[in-house]
Structure 1
Amino acid sequence: MDVFQNMELFSELIQCGGNIYTWCYNADGSLLQSNCPEAGFLSGAFDLFGCKKKMLDYGSRHTTPVTLGTAIGMTWAAAFEKDGSALKRAWVIGPVFYQDVSLRGIEQGLQYYNRLETSVAWTMQLYEALKTVPVLQCTVLHRYALMMHYCLTGNHLTISDINSEDLTQVRNAVQQPAHDRHKVWMAEQGLLQMVRTGDLNYKQALSASMGISTGVPVRSDDALRQSKTSIIVFTSLVCRAAIEGGLSPEEAYALGDSYIQSAENAKTLDDLEPLGLMMYDDFVRRVHKCRTNPHLSQQVQKCVDYIEMNLDKKIRAADMAALVGYTEYYLTHKFKEETGLSVTDYIKFVKIERAKVLLKSTDQTVQDIATALSFSTRNYFSRIFQEVTGQTPMEYREK
C-alpha cells in the first residue's frame, strides 16, 4: 500500500472515534486534501493562529511528530513524509480540544491573539465551527500521532518522541500573569467578609473580583480536575466565613459537604461552572437570614434589606416609606428609633462599607466605584468616605 492508501485507512479508523479529520499539506504550505467539511475555514484558522508555519518549520528540520496548540485550546498533531532529508508532505489530524472549553474560555483565549485583525463575522463563524470540534485527551491524540507516523514511515516511536513543547508554551502563555499575592488575599478577604455579614448585594464585587485570580494554581492537563479543586477550596473558605457570620457549624458543614460532593460529581465544565455562584449565594442568604436583627420591626428590616439590595441607585426615604406603607415622616422617625441612625446616615454607612470591599477586592478606579454606588461626583464620594473612615479612598486602598 502507498502512503495515500495507508492514510485513507488511518483516517477511516480514527473517524470511528468521532469527527477527527485528516489533512495533507505540501511542503510549500498549500493544502493538498482534507476530509473536513469545514476545511476551508479551519485551514485558514490553522494558518491564522500560526500553527501551519510552526508545523512546516518543525517538519523541515525533524522527522518526529509534533503537537500544535492554540490559546483557545484547539489542538492539532502533525507527522511528516520525507524525501530523503527534505520535507515532502505534512499530514495533520485535528482539530480537537484537549479539554472541555466554555465560550468564556474561548473569548479569553482569543485575547491572546490581539495582534490578529479579525472581524466580528469571522469570530462568529469560528464559534459555529468550534461546536463540531471533539474533545480528545492528550494521550489519545499522541497515540493517534504515533499511528500516523507509522503509516507514513513504517517506524515505531514512543510518546516521549513526540514534541509537545509548542502545546506547553501556548498553555503557559495564556495563563494569567503572576498575581500580586497580597492583592489576591485582599480580594479573598473582601468576598469572605460579604459572607460573614450576609451581604445580599454581593454580585458586583464578586464579578469584579473574578479577574484577580483564576483559582488554585494546580498544574494539570485535566481542566475539569483543576476547576473542581478551586471550587472545593473556595467552598471550604466560604463555609468557615459563614460560621464566623453566625451560621451554625452543623448547617454550614452539611451545606459545604453537599456542594463539594456536587463538584466531585460534575462530568463537564458546563456542569461545574454555575456551582460556585450557587454555593456562594446560598451561604450569603443563610447568613443574612440568621443575622436578621430580631429587635427590628418587619417594616424597618424590609427597609434595611432594600438599602442593601439597591446600593447602585439613589435611595430615597419616600420610596421606602411607600414600600412599607408608612408616611415618610413616620418611617424616618421609626428607622432612627430602631437602628440608632437616620436613614441618610445608614445609607452612607452601608455604601461606604461596600466601597471598602470594592477597593480591597477589585481594581476598579475610585471614579468607577463612586459611579457604581451612585454618588453624584468622585469628590463627594471621597468626602463621605473620609468622613466615615477617617481616610481617603486611595489611602484606604494603599494600606
Structure 2
Amino acid sequence: MNVLQNMMLFSELVQCGGNVYTWCYDAQGKLLRSNCPDEAFLASAFELFGCKQRMLEHGNRNDVPVTLGTALGLLWGTAFEKEEGKLKRVWVIGPVFHRDVTMRGIEEGLKYYSKLEISVAWTIQLYKALEEVPTLQNTIMNRYLLMMHYCLTGQRLELSDVNSSAAQDERLKSDAIPHDRHKIWMAEQGMLQMVRTGDLNYKQALSNSMSMSAGVPVQSSDVLRQSKTSVIVFTSLVCRAAIEGGLSPEEAYSLGDSYIQTAEAAKSLDELHPLAMMMYDDFIRRVHKHRTNPNLSMQIQKCVDYIEMNLDKKIVAEDLAALVGYTEYYLTHKFKEETGLSVTNYVKFAKVERAKVLLKSTPLSVREISEQLGFATRNYFSAVFQQVTGKTPMEFRET
C-alpha cells in the first residue's frame, strides 16, 4: 500500500472512534483534502489561531509529529510526509478538546486572540462548530499521531517522541487572562449558601459559580482524573455546607463518601458529568427536608416551597390559595397563623434573601437583580431591600 492508501485506511479507522477528522496540506499550507463536513470554517480557525503557521515551521525543521494547542483548549495533531528530506505534505487530525471546557472557558480563551478582531458572526459560527468537537485525552491523541507517523514513514516512535505545544498554549492563556479569584470565591460562597439553607431554587447560583470557574485547577494530562478530582473536592465542600445547614454529620459524610466512591469508579466522562449535579441536588433536598418547619401544615409548606421556587414572579395570595384549594381569605389567615408573617411580607423577605445571595455571588447589576426577582422598578427593589436590611443593595455588596 502507498502513503495515500495508508492514510485513507487510517482516516476510516480513526472515524470509528468518533468525529476525529483527517486533513492534508501541501508544503505551502494549501488544504488538499479532508473528511470534515465543516471543512472551510474549521480550516479557517486552524489558520486564524496560528496553528497552520506553527505546523509548517515545525515540519520544515523536524520529522517527528507535534500536537498544536490553542488557548480555547482545542488541539490538533500533525505528522509530516517528506521526500528526500524536504516537506512534501502535512497530515492533521482534529480538532479535539484535550480537556472538558465550558462556554465561559471558550469565551475567556478567545480574549487571548483579541488582537485578531474576530467578528461576532464568526464567533457565533465557532460556538456552533465547537458543539460537535469531541474530547480526547492527550495520550490517545498522541497514540493516533504515532499511528499516523507510522503510516507515512514506516517508522515506530515512542510516546515521549511526540512534541507538544499544548502546554505552552495553556500557559500563555493563563498569563494573558487574569482570574478574579475573589469573584470566584464569592460565587462559590453563594453556591454553598444554597446548600446551607436548603434552597431548592439553586440553579442560578450554581450556574454563576460554574461560569466563573471550570473546576479545580489541577494540572493533568488525564482529563478523566482532573474531572474526578473536581467532583471529589466539590462534594467535600457541599458535604460540609450541608452539615452547617443542619444535616447530621453521620448522614452527610455517609452520603458524601458514597458520591466520592462513585466518582472514583467512573470509567468515562459520560458517567462522571451528571454526578456533580445529582450530588448537589441530593444534598440540597436533604437539607431542605431537615429544615422544613414541622409546625407547618402540608398546605402551607407547599405554599412556602412555591414561593422559594418562583421568586422571579409576582406572587400574590390568590395564586397560593388556588394552589392548595383554599379561599384567599382562609389562606391569608392560616398562612400568617403558621408562619408569623403575611403572604406579602414572607414573599418580600424571601426575595431579599435571594437578592443577598446574588449581590454576594454574581456580577449582576442592581437593576438586573431587581428584574430577575420580579420587582417593578429598581428603585422599589432598593427601597424594599433597605427596609429589610437597613442597607441599600450597593452598600450591602460593598460590605
Name the TM-score class by shorter chain: 0.7 to 0.9
Does 42-51 or 258-267 show the bigger shift?
42-51
Are the structure 2 counterparts of residues 224 and 141 from structure 1 closer, same or farther at C-alpha, using a change threshold of 3 Å?
closer
Aligned position for 1:227: 227
Which whole-Å CA distance do the structure 1 matches of 2:10 and 2:151 have between them? 12
Closer, same or farther: CA 195–149 of 1 in aligned 2, 3 Å: closer
Secondary structure of 1:351's match?
Answer: helix
Q: 1:149-169, CA deviations, whole angstroms, 9 ceiling, x for partnerless residues?
A: 67767888665554312x223
Deviations 1:184-243 (A, max 9, x none): 222222221211111111112221222122211100111221111111111111112112
Root-mean-square deviation (CA), in Å?
Answer: 3.5
Match of 2:96 in 1: 97
Q: What are the within-5 Å matches in structure 2 for residues 1-399 of structure 1?
A: 5=2, 8-9=5-6, 12=9, 24-32=24-32, 36=35, 40-41=39-40, 43=43, 46-70=46-70, 71-79=72-80, 81=82, 83=84, 87-95=86-94, 97=96, 99=98, 111=110, 115-117=117-119, 126=129, 130=132, 137-142=137-142, 145=145, 159-165=159-165, 167-173=166-172, 177-399=177-399
In structure 1, C-alpha distance between the alignment counterparts of 2:137 and 2:337, rounded to whole Å? 65
Partners of 1:246 and 1:357 in 2: how far apart? 19
Distance verdict in 2 for CA 1:124–1:227, change over 3 Å? closer
Secondary structure of residue in 2 paired with 1:91: strand
1:173 CA drift (Å)? 4.9
Q: Tell me, yes or no, if the aligned pair for 2:307 and 2:315 is still in contact at 8 Å.
A: yes
The verdict on how the C-alpha distance between 1:348 and 1:262 changes in structure 2, with shifts beyond 3 A counting, is same
Contact 2:38 2:129 in 1 (8 A): no
Once the two structures are TM-superposed, the CA of residue 5 in structure 1 deviates from its matched residue by 3.3
User: Residue 344 of structure 1: CA displacement?
Assistant: 1.4
In the aligned structure 2, how far is the partner of 1:328 from the partner of 1:150?
Answer: 78
Q: Identify unmatched segments of 5+ residues in structure 2.
A: none
The worse-fitting range, judged by mean Cα deviation, of 35-44 and 59-68 is 35-44
Change (3 A) 1:207 1:157: closer
CA distance in 2, matches of 1:185, 1:38: 42
CA 1:272–1:173: 2 relative to 1, 3 Å: farther
Alpha-carbon distance in 1 for matches of 2:128, 2:372: 35
1:354-394 CA-to-partner distances (Å, cap 9, x unmatched) read: 01111111121111111010011111111111111111111
Q: TM-score, normalised by structure 1?
A: 0.82
CA distance in 1, matches of 2:181, 2:39: 45
Three-state SS of the structure 1 residue aligned to 2:91 is strand
**Preserved CA contact (<8 Å) 1:187 1:209:** yes
Q: In structure 1, list runs of 5 or more residues that go unmatched.
A: none
Greater CA deviation, 273-282 or 114-123?
Answer: 114-123
Partners of 1:257 and 1:39 in 2: CA distance: 44
Count of residue pairs brought into register by the alignment: 389
Name the stretch that deviates more: 71-80 or 279-288. 71-80
The one-letter code matched in structure 1 to 2:356 is K
TM-score in terms of structure 2 length: 0.82
Question: Does the residue aligned with 1:97 lie in a helix, a strand or coil?
Answer: strand
Kindly state the Cα deviation for residue 36 of structure 1 after the two structures are TM-superposed: 3.9
Cα distance in 2 for residues equivalent to 1:35 and 1:105: 30
Based on CA coordinates, which of the two structures has the bigger radius of gyration? 1
Contact kept, 8 Å, 1:7 with 1:148, in 2: the verdict is no
| Contact residue 198 and residue 285 of structure 2 kept, 8 A | yes
- Structure 1 residues 379 and 388: alpha-carbon distance in aligned structure 2, compared to 1, 3 A threshold: same
Look up the equivalent residue of 2:295 and give its one-letter code. Answer: H
SS in 1 for 2:29: coil
